Amino acid sequence: MPGRAEILPPSLPPRGLSRTESAAYIGVSPSLFDELVKDGRMPRPKRINSRTIWDRRKLDAAFEAILDGESRPENPWDEP
């Protein structure tokens, strides 16, 4: 049976990603990805039968919500 890479065209990335693929997708190790899921910065997975998969679109949204190194929450008391 051909793998996912042989079935889908390169222009159509898979919607559901494994834990390892999800970690690589956002650029972290699987163990750090586990921490991000545990503390709520990354979404929880979906279960489809025996498969555990993450929705690529939810990963994108969660990644966008993480503050940049230069960003900080607005605090009116910090104004000069």
Residues of the domain holding 40? 12-65
Does 80 fall in a domain? no
pLDDT over threshold 80, residue 12: yes
Any idea what DSSP says for residue 54? E
Does 1 fall in a domain? no
Predicted local distance difference test score (pLDDT) of residue 74 = 63
Does 25 fall in a domain? yes
Split into its structural domains, the chain has a count of 1
Does 3 fall in a domain? no
Does 70 fall in a domain? no
Q: pLDDT tens-digit profile of 26-37?
A: 999 999 999 999
Give strand ranges (E) for 1-80. Answer: 16-17, 46-48, 51-55
Does 79 fall in a domain? no
What's the CATH number where 39 sits? 1.10.1660
Please state, rounded to an integer, the average pLDDT across all residues of the chain: 86
Q: pLDDT tens-digit profile of 38-63?
A: 999 999 999 999 999 999 999 999 99
Does 38 fall in a domain? yes
Q: Are 65 and 32 in contact (CB under 8 A)?
A: no
Rounded Cα gap, residues 11 and 38, in angstroms: 32
Does 76 fall in a domain? no
